[in-house]
């Protein structure tokens, strides 16, 4: 995995979702191709495939205490390596496009 992805990223924006201003949530990537995300009542453990500037992932977790799963992607900002954008997709449900900055 591109070393620039590794670490914890804080969500700064999420389309069609009001993030909690005191705890907006995070998305994390590790060097072993795994990660996780948390925002509000949503949690997912991710298995990642990667390229140089984009990561695709499948995830399993919970949404409002119900089992949930889906896919998503994250892409580094070309001008700022401490910023990314992406999308978390829920199977048969919502898609949340996001922006995040490295913690």
Section 87-103 average pLDDT: 95
The sign of the torsion formed by the CA atoms of 56, 61, 63, 68 equals positive
Q: Is residue 1 part of a domain?
A: no
Can you give the pLDDT at residue 70? Answer: 98
Is the whole-model pTM more than 0.95? no
pLDDT tens-place string over residues 61-79: 999 989 999 999 999 999 9
Q: Is residue 2 part of a domain?
A: no
Domain count, the chain: 1
Residues 6+ apart with CB under 8 A from 33: 1, 47, 48, 49, 50
Does residue 53 carry a pLDDT above 80? yes
Residue 38: give the domain boundaries. Answer: 7-102
For the domain that residue 32 is a member of, what is the CATH number?
Answer: 2.40.128
The sign of the torsion formed by the CA atoms of 51, 55, 59, 61 equals positive
Does residue 92 carry a pLDDT above 90? no
């Amino acid at each position: 995995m591109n070393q620039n992805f590794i670490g914890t990223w804080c969500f700064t924006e999420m389309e069609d979702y009001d993030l909690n201003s005191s705890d907006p949530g995070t998305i994390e990537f590790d060097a072993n191709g795994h990660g996780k995300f948390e925002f509000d009542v949503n949690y997912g453990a991710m298995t990642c495939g990667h390229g140089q500037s984009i990561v695709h992932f499948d995830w399993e977790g919970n949404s409002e205490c119900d089992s949930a799963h889906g896919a998503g992607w994250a892409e580094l900002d070309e001008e700022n390596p401490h910023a990314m954008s992406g999308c978390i997709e829920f199977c048969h449900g919502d898609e949340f496009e996001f922006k995040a900055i490295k913690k």
